[in-house]
Structure 1
Amino acid sequence: MAGPVPELEDRAMACAERLCEADRVLLASHIDADGLTSAAIAAQALERAGLPFETVFEKQLDADAIAAIAATDYETVLFTDFGSGQLDIIGEHEDEGAFTPVVADHHQPADRETEYHLNPLLFGINGASELSGAGASYVLARALAEVSDSEPAVAADGGEANEMSPSSSEPRSDGGTVVADAATTPRADNRDLAALAVVGAVGDMQASGGELHGANEKIVAEGVEAGVLETGKDLALYGKQTRPLPKLLEYATDVHIPGISNDESGALRFLDGLDLELKRDGEWRRWSGLTNDEKQTVASALVKRAVSSGVPATKIDQLVSTAYVLPEEPVGTELRDASEFSTLLNATARYERADVGLGVCLGDRDAALERARKLLRNHRRNLSQGIDLVTREGVTHEDHVQWFHAGDEIRETIVGIVAGMAMGNAGISRSKPIVAFAEKNDEEVKVSARGTHSLVRQGLDLSAVMGEASRAAGGDGGGHDVAAGATVPKGEEEPFVERADDIVGEQLS
């Protein structure tokens, strides 16, 4: 196997061989953008390997969810984008003979070993910044293509696939796809799935410093070689495909430019002052529709404004980053840009519609995409209201962390996103990690924490913070160094914050 991550090659092959021994597979995955792309990659790889499967999603892989999985009659379960942190519980069911787990994950593993465990952290690769859950699923998919002796034109239910061209695919209702491949195409060895792996990595906040690093870079290279990805330097602004130019600039707050960022009239004046045709038929054009010369003119004027406004040079450098484009998707759509694609996916599963996000990943550009766009509009509205609430109400500052409690005013599935987006607003520091609470049910509270890559470089590890602080408060948690989550009993928020503040202080001292 000439896989993208040599360090994982042997383990990936072992996991793939075990899956190929199964009569059928239960595919269980997380619900965020990384989890959805992980599931879509695994689903297509299983389908192409001729392995029947069923897909289920879990918001949180807790003891009850694992017990429900164990109660099914599946003898083989593939966990994607979670499972490592729950190996102690999974292992109990494995010991009882309930099922054999195959795990493709990138989160911090529990203190338990299992044979078919594909995780970059086991091989010296950073799972928070160098390989996402979708990346681990992609490595497994490449191995599955290598070890499978199935004819790729055979459907997973044993039926015959439709006659199609080598590059075509057709979504299946069970979460897989029927695909016909010529032996020389990227689909024959699953390299075409690299695009989804990149969407997952970007959605998992792994593009630190404006680009993907480590093992992720190797997956990008395979995607470019397969023709499903294009990369290049571009403005580091969210919404280049879909937002009208004034909104693109107004909402560009990562690098705050006085008179433009968070300033609708200022953004309009800035654009009106450029000698360009930025409106057509009375409508503002989008960045994706500008010519290269027009983009250069806008970008140069933006940098000049930043310099004259006193924005530090280090911040101005952040105005440019690496763009990850899916060239097979139409210009001007959310699906063409990896960042916008990942946001669209987040807007589905966080509102209990993981099936819609999976459908989009598997190529449904009709009903699933239409529904996803409606969910995205609702998601953006909820995020905006949440950010306004946090900014208006403010946060409580401890020595080393800042926090707020949203109660039932922000959905527990999006409170972490709101917290991260609110950092940098008035009274909300970017020099401290932020902890957010939201009601989960009558007995539990969801906790989400967000940091910055700069804090991580100084020693911050929110996975350790959330794990230790939540357990001290009678709950449990984990995640990544820059973003993590937990669940604690209601009423235990104060001891959680106290312990979290102490741990962060120790990490950053």
Structure 2
Amino acid sequence: MAGPIPDLEDRATRCAQRLCEADRVLLASHIDADGLTSAAIASSALERAGIPFETVFEKQLDEAAVADIAATDYDTVLFTDFGSGQLDVIGDREDAGDFTPVIADHHQPADRETEYHLNPLLFGINGASELSGAGASYVLARALATVADNRTARSVATDGGTTAAARADNRDLAALAVVGAVGDMQASGGELHGANAKIVEEGVDAGVIETGKDLALYGKQTRPLPKLLEYATDVHIPGISNDQQGALRFLDGLDLELKRDGEWRRWSGLTNDEKQTVASALVKRAVSSGVPAKKIDQLVSTAYVLPEEPVGTELRDASEFSTLLNATARYERADVGLGVCLGDRTDALERARKLLREHRRNLSEGIDLVTREGVTHADNLQWFHAGDRIRETIVGIVAGMAMGNAGISRSKPIIAFAEKNDDEVKVSARGTHNLVRKGLDLSAVMGDASRVVGGDGGGHDVAAGATVPTGEEEAFVERADEILGEQLS
């Protein structure tokens, strides 16, 4: 069966063939939601193809991490959701004969070539908005199923046996690819586009994804209705958003049974008619409060539901699933997130939920800290330094969520610093899709500005990161501000 993205099929097939030739594979992946889903997709595909493998995770694929990988006795290494931006370092190791790299990534490639490199950017497909790392891994998984199946068929024919049972085509893994894309903020304008949309179609056909228009609010599966509305701040509705009592009054004013046994119901448990009543009342309130029509339109988006997961759980909604995953590896428990992706609904899921509660508390405290202390405004950006008060693994999330709060603009990119170790500082940058349409490319900003001060960085146009030496923060900001001025002029 043909793969979901025709432009990538030949390269994906060559990568899959190389993996099938390996005696065993080391799978190395990034730690965010996109990285975890990438690893889960790749590990599922390798297991189904009968290829022995081991999985490792890295927060950052720097020279030290690549050196550690090279020190193993694996001849083949599969990199997922990173590797492209580190091709110079990886290429040196390949030239030295340490290992053969196979890369399924979507980040901006370094100026170096390698044979088994699957990246949408090499084929004119936007890796920041049209295909995530999980999407690239999914394309590889689909090719791997075909290559492995063909090899099995040839082997059976050679042995004179009967036709082997058809191998799974891996389309069921589209659900994880969608979770990864949503977690990578690729649902611009409320839905997935381009190559991501093709993967959604395969997931729908396979019965592992359902789509439809719904309220664009986070927490529709798990939050009680008052909290769902109170925390819905992307479209600020006066008297409801950030207003606990206001949200309660709004719901009490509706002629609906929104409580059962004294407990508030959740959006996922409402009937379609009940949802329509709440949504209509919400839109009327927004109109009467003077919310611009363009903003009101953003109250509705495309929902991506995983129908095989129970109603009312984080795993049923792609957005909530991705947040759960972010709460694992960012607290050094990538194994927990991978376990959930691979179907562990007991110990791993319980642990992930505990980590999610801690993650939410840390995010809330971080956002409060940034909002309370404010940011420093330069001509073309705004920035803050959290020191050791916000974990370097979540400071970028905090920065993005703080945009729009008092004194923190959404019309400028935001740059956040957090202590990484005694010698280095983690830098995270966040923008908006509206700024990207005006020319913003944070990957270029972070890469250029960090190298000027002796660091390194990269990422996507709307979100990127870097590591710089301690003490070079102001020089970094100065150079980043210059680049942004050129991009956004």
Measured against the shorter chain, the TM-score band is over 0.9
Whether 2:324 is the aligned partner of 1:344: answer yes
Q: Aligned partners of 1:126, 1:75: CA distance in 2, in Å?
A: 31
Who is 1:173 aligned against? none
Whether 2:392 is the aligned partner of 1:390: answer no
Which one-letter code corresponds to 1:485 in the other structure?
A: G
Superposed, which structure 2 residues align to 1:144-183 within 5 Å?
144-149=144-149, 183=166
Who is 1:313 aligned against? 293
Superposed, which structure 2 residues align to 1:221-232 within 5 Å?
221-232=201-212
**Does the CA contact (< 8 Å) of 1:35 and 1:80 recur in 2?**
yes
Q: Number of residue pairs matched? A: 478
**Residue aligned with 2:427, SS:** strand
Which one-letter code corresponds to 2:79 in the other structure?
A: F
Gaps of 5+ in 2: 154-163
Who is 2:160 aligned against? none
Q: Aligned partners of 1:471, 1:404: CA distance in 2, in Å?
A: 20
Who is 1:425 aligned against? 405
Superposed, which structure 2 residues align to 1:87-486 within 5 Å?
87-149=87-149, 183=166, 188-486=168-466
Who is 2:10 aligned against? 10
Q: Aligned partners of 1:325, 1:292: CA distance in 2, in Å?
A: 15
Deviations 1:423-452 (A, max 9, x none): 000000000000000000000000000000
Could you tell me how far 1:473 is from its partner in structure 2? Answer: 1.3
Q: Aligned partners of 1:430, 1:496: CA distance in 2, in Å?
A: 21
Whether 2:19 is the aligned partner of 1:19: answer yes
**Does the CA contact (< 8 Å) of 1:35 and 1:134 recur in 2?**
yes
Who is 2:158 aligned against? none
Q: Aligned partners of 2:407, 2:346: CA distance in 1, in Å?
A: 43
Q: Aligned partners of 2:257, 2:385: CA distance in 1, in Å?
A: 46
Deviations 1:221-271 (A, max 9, x none): 000000000000000000000000000000000000000000000000000
Could you tell me how far 1:108 is from its partner in structure 2? Answer: 0.2
Q: Compute the RMSD of aligned alpha carbons.
A: 1.0
Could you tell me how far 1:474 is from its partner in structure 2? Answer: 1.0
Q: Aligned partners of 1:93, 1:451: CA distance in 2, in Å?
A: 34
Gaps of 5+ in 1: 153-180
Q: Aligned partners of 1:377, 1:278: CA distance in 2, in Å?
A: 25
**Residue aligned with 1:266, SS:** helix
Q: Mark the CA change 1:229 to 1:415 in structure 2 (over 3 Å): closer, same or farther.
A: same
Percent of paired sites with the same residue: 89
Could you tell me how far 1:94 is from its partner in structure 2? Answer: 0.2
Could you tell me how far 1:151 is from its partner in structure 2? Answer: 6.4
**Residue aligned with 2:429, SS:** strand
**Residue aligned with 2:461, SS:** coil
Q: Aligned partners of 2:393, 2:152: CA distance in 1, in Å?
A: 40
Which one-letter code corresponds to 1:136 in the other structure?
A: A
**Residue aligned with 2:77, SS:** strand
**Residue aligned with 2:86, SS:** helix
**Residue aligned with 1:85, SS:** coil
**Residue aligned with 2:223, SS:** coil
Which one-letter code corresponds to 2:189 in the other structure?
A: G
**Residue aligned with 1:77, SS:** strand
Could you tell me how far 1:69 is from its partner in structure 2? Answer: 0.3
Q: Aligned partners of 2:369, 2:258: CA distance in 1, in Å?
A: 34
**4+ long deviations beyond 6 Å:** none
TM, length-normalised to structure 2 = 0.97
**Residue aligned with 1:464, SS:** helix
Deviations 1:459-502 (A, max 9, x none): 00000000000011110000000000000001000000001011
Q: Aligned partners of 2:237, 2:227: CA distance in 1, in Å?
A: 14
Q: Aligned partners of 2:386, 2:262: CA distance in 1, in Å?
A: 41
**Does the CA contact (< 8 Å) of 1:107 and 1:480 recur in 2?**
yes
